[in-house]
Amino acid sequence: MSRCLAAGSRVRLASGEVPIETITNTASIISIRDGVEVVEAIKWIGQRHIDLSRHARPEDAAPIVIRADAIANGRPARDLLISPEHAVFIDGVLVQARALINGGSIAQDRGAQQVTYYHIELDQHGVFYANGLEVESYLDNGDR
The total of other beta-carbon atoms located within 10 Å of residue 52's CB is 19
Cβ contacts of 129 within 8 Å, gap of 6 or more: 11, 12, 17, 30, 135
Q: Mean pLDDT for each consecutive 10-residue tract of the chain (144 residues)?
A: 87 98 96 97 96 95 98 98 97 97 97 96 97 96 74
Nearest by Cα to 14 from 1, 2, 26: 26
Please report the pLDDT score of residue 1 as a whole number: 52
Rounded Cα–Cα distance for residues 117 and 61 (Å):
10
Give me the pLDDT at residue 2, please: 65
**What domains does the chain contain, in order, with CATH numbers?**
5-136 (2.170.16.10)
Q: How far apart are CA 28 and CA 43, in angstroms?
A: 10
DSSP string, 102-140: -SSSEEE-TT--EEEEEEEE-SS--EEEETTEEEEPP--
Task: Please give the model's pTM, rounded to 2 decimal places.
Answer: 0.94
CA distance 103 to 86: 18
pLDDT for 140: 86
Sign of the CA dihedral with 19 first, then 27, 13, and 117 last: positive
